[in-house]
Chains A and B, each alone.
Chain A
């Protein structure tokens, strides 16, 4: 039987890189990529690679009845990457793709008579405001969430948990993907990059974080090679994997701020003349008071700044460690190791500066 892979969100940061990897490795006889918008980030279609415009929020995933039915007959593997990764969406908006979209993809998956594997690309931060050790087998909690992305992905995982006996399933929980370790390329500027931009523009005086808290970022290459390896080489239904850096490969928040400061200064000596202070680390009540004041003043710039920061940074006030027992077991054997953040973080910051956060083409410094 032909091995046919369906990838949702195939034009997203993870989806597009994974699709390229699957094409390159020729693991499947055919790959069908579902995209919501343009397909610029994908290779040209071939006999073995097909792109279908879709909308997973809609019934039948926004596909024609014929396409939908044909796919249920032929698909043997699904990697569900489609997600709205914005942290600042209203909950009902975040739920549309992240929860309802997942429900629709699962409905489709259950109709695939030859389905052998289903993977859901999730986030390690479904752990929300939990603190301490988070096991890969952990899911349900009542600690709350920092943003609607975390919550909607959590709700999707809870839904998937009910289907674990019905679908041959893996869940890959990624920490924050900040860019490529090799050259610092950022294909998806997220809240972390926006925070760097605010700091560069002297608008990030506060960071809700506790001293010594560390920031778990992973490079894109590690995310892709990990998912690919586990899904293609070591798929074992019912398992969840934390694809994270771990404390030993991360930087604590102070080191991160210091390195950022150094790169800004080296990149633009004029920047240091502004005497911009490093952000002060504050607790939640202080940050809430600042947020309240900005709102009362109706200062649109400051309100926007606070909103941007509060959608992700408070996670630093809930120190947690992600257990990697499952992922370590399967990644170590393949010698897939995460690049420590201090080896590539500067490249990421430089890329942001050189492209003005994606507004200019990237021209590397010689």
Chain B
């Protein structure tokens, strides 16, 4: 990969409302016992009660543009990624005009932020891997388009009110995360990316146990592929920047990889929780802000998204 392209800025937004497991259980939003989920490392979920995914996306984009100093006119590519079907459209309409089904979130956000020069693309079927896929898409597009310099990517998801907050032993938060992928980035150069999609598991309810069984061996292989593409060994990796799906799942995966726990950024798993596609990049932002990531250090990001997609991204800070 051309290591000139990197993720130069990241911002995120989590709703103010935080519900603990007991509250979620009382509201019938969990399938498993509170104690079991707590043992797996879950604590609470961020819940957007009066905000839509568009509201959340706007907050993350606004912060990113402001902090990066990049003006909307400088954005050449805008990639919106949402893991949930409801994120595709600005709002759901059960009995409105047929044209309502084309009220795309990506176009509205482009207009709202005045990203007038930006080509607009949306990713909607990568589950929790969608923001990582957006990085890959942005990187490849910038590489292919000589005149493009900056891509703005964003993921934003809000679970519908009727939905449970637990999905196969994961407690899910609402949230959004935006990032600038740019040429000649001074930080977070993209070294390699790998993705394994196993369509056999397209129906997670029907294939639940098989999917759980497949998760770890396939994760190991996806990580191995990203390392192979980068020419690096696992021992060259300074940090694993995780998704926030249960500390227990990471304890197992780290043992499987034989990767030292002290090089694993676990700080956010309990406090931030699992925010669908945003986890790895929220963690990247916080780990950087905490001063943990030093210049030149290599980071490995890994996530899994329903679909079923196992994705791994290697960055150099």
Residues on A close to B: CB < 8 A? 201-206, 273-280, 282-283, 285-286, 289-290, 293, 296-299, 301-302, 305
Given contacts A275-B200, A302-B212, contact A280 B220 (CB under 8 A): yes
New contact pairs (6) apart from A277-B217, A279-B217, A298-B32, CB-CB < 8 Å: A202-B214, A205-B217, A275-B198, A285-B255, A289-B248, A293-B40
Interface residues of B in 193-230 (CB under 8 A from A): 198, 200, 209-210, 212-218, 220-221
CB contact between A289 and one of B32, B198, B209, B251 (< 8 Å): that residue: B251
Assembled-state Cα–Cα distance A298/B225 (Å): 33
Question: Chain B residue with minimal CB distance to A298?
Answer: B36
Closest 8 CB pairs of A and B: A277-B217, A286-B255, A205-B213, A202-B210, A274-B200, A301-B209, A280-B217, A275-B198
B255 neighbours in A (Cβ, 8 Å): 282-283, 285-286, 289
A201 neighbours in B (Cβ, 8 Å): 210
A279 neighbours in B (Cβ, 8 Å): 217
Highest count of chain B CB atoms <10 Å: which of A204, A275, A282 = A275
Interface residues of B in 231-272 (CB under 8 A from A): 248, 251-252, 255-256
What is the minimal beta-carbon distance from A71 to any residue of chain B, in angstroms? 51
Assembled-state Cα–Cα distance A273/B213 (Å): 16
What range describes how many residues of B lie at the interface?
A: 20 to 34
Question: Can you report 11 residue pairs joining A to B where beta carbons are below 8 Å apart?
Answer: A205-B213, A205-B214, A278-B217, A280-B216, A280-B217, A286-B252, A289-B252, A293-B40, A293-B248, A296-B39, A298-B36
A205 neighbours in B (Cβ, 8 Å): 213-217
What is the minimal beta-carbon distance from B213 to any residue of chain A, in angstroms? 4
A285 neighbours in B (Cβ, 8 Å): 255
CB contact between A296 and one of B40, B200, B212, B221 (< 8 Å): that residue: B40
B210 neighbours in A (Cβ, 8 Å): 201-203
What is the minimal beta-carbon distance from B257 to any residue of chain A, in angstroms? 10
Assembled-state Cα–Cα distance A194/B277 (Å): 38
Question: Chain B residue with minimal CB distance to A294?
Answer: B212
Contact with A along B14-32 (1 / 0, CB 8 A): 0000000000000000001
What is the minimal beta-carbon distance from B49 to any residue of chain A, in angstroms? 29
- Are B212 and A282 interface neighbours, CB within 8 A? no
B212 neighbours in A (Cβ, 8 Å): 299, 302
Question: Chain A residue with minimal CB distance to B210?
Answer: A202
What is the minimal beta-carbon distance from B202 to any residue of chain A, in angstroms? 12
Q: Does B169 contact A (CB under 8 A)?
A: yes
B214 neighbours in A (Cβ, 8 Å): 202, 205, 276-277
A302 neighbours in B (Cβ, 8 Å): 209, 212-213
What is the minimal beta-carbon distance from A296 to any residue of chain B, in angstroms? 5
What is the minimal beta-carbon distance from B145 to any residue of chain A, in angstroms? 33
B215 neighbours in A (Cβ, 8 Å): 205
Given contacts A203-B210, A296-B36, A296-B40, contact A290 B217 (CB under 8 A): no
What is the minimal beta-carbon distance from A181 to any residue of chain B, in angstroms? 31
Highest count of chain B CB atoms <10 Å: which of A289, A296, A301 = A296
Highest count of chain B CB atoms <10 Å: which of A204, A205, A285 = A205
A301 neighbours in B (Cβ, 8 Å): 209
Question: Chain B residue with minimal CB distance to A273?
Answer: B200
Question: Chain B residue with minimal CB distance to A282?
Answer: B256
Contact with A along B61-83 (1 / 0, CB 8 A): 00000000000000000000000
Assembled-state Cα–Cα distance A301/B168 (Å): 14
- Are B217 and A299 interface neighbours, CB within 8 A? no
- Are A290 and B213 interface neighbours, CB within 8 A? no
Given contacts A273-B200, A274-B200, contact A203 B209 (CB under 8 A): yes
Assembled-state Cα–Cα distance A280/B198 (Å): 18
A276 neighbours in B (Cβ, 8 Å): 214
Assembled-state Cα–Cα distance A257/B39 (Å): 33
What is the minimal beta-carbon distance from B200 to any residue of chain A, in angstroms? 4
What is the minimal beta-carbon distance from A213 to any residue of chain B, in angstroms? 17
